[in-house]
Copies of this chain bind each other. A is one copy, B any other.
């Protein structure tokens, strides 16, 4: 496909409850679609447990590879929430209670209710900027290119809305979707030829199982509308004549 200068991103989902299947992730698909709409290319997602070594390794590997890293999970008040401390460790910076974060928590809690557990949610690595949380107030934070968000989907979503204006955007790709019930195996070789003849677009073929049997979407993506349309015309002609 045409080389794009679009920013790249990686996503890290932090939570033992996803790995043991108890909680079904709802954040990957949301964030993937959100970033795509901003013209940001999500290149990799990792799901890891609430373990310092795993968090440090994933954050340090991916922040070196991508323009942006996003994390979800592990920033609550309980003992199993270790993301903020692990991010500080990954960057080799101190972490301590952040006065601005305490102010945010005081929008929700009376001073006498700001106990040790809740104050933990104000522990922020030094040098980080806060991400506001309009729902439960406990903030996320941004340290260099790493964006640390909550795991609860609706809180993650308001944090994403809050940080999005600061992200460099790319050019969203043109997308042409062709639905067909012609079997993938029937058109595979013809589609391979079309893909070879249209090197500036990306062509994918995605089968799924429906109540009426297999159905497939052929999806064409590219930066240029004309080249996408030309490839789509070729696919339509191929499907009609096969």
Contacts and interface: CB of A to CB of B under 8 A. Distances in A.
A47 interface: yes
Interface residues of A, number: 72
B209 A152 contact: yes
A78 interface: yes
B17 A117 contact: no
A19 B45 contact: yes
B44 A45 contact: no
Interface stretch (A24-32, A159-167, A223-231): A24-32
Given A192-B79, A208-B152, A21 B45 contact: no
Tell me the dominant secondary structure on chain A's binding face.
mixed
A207 interface: yes
Interface in A1-60: 13, 16-25, 28-36, 41-50, 54
B118 A153 contact: no
A154 B209 contact: yes
Interface stretch (A84-92, A93-101, A140-148, A181-189): A181-189
B17 A24 contact: no
A209 B153 contact: yes
A148 to B, nearest CB: 17
B46 A32 contact: no
Interface string A112-151: 0101111011000000000000011000000000000000
A71 to B, nearest CB: 14
Contacts of A117: 184-189, 192
Contacts of A78: 184, 188, 191-192, 205
A184 B76 contact: yes
A205 B120 CA distance: 15
A115 B188 CA distance: 9
Given A78-B184, A188-B77, A209-B154, A204 B16 contact: yes
A118 B207 CA distance: 14
A83 to B, nearest CB: 14
Given A113-B185, A116-B189, A153-B209, 12 more contacts: A16-B202, A21-B34, A22-B206, A25-B28, A46-B46, A50-B204, A76-B205, A78-B184, A115-B185, A115-B188, A117-B184, A120-B188
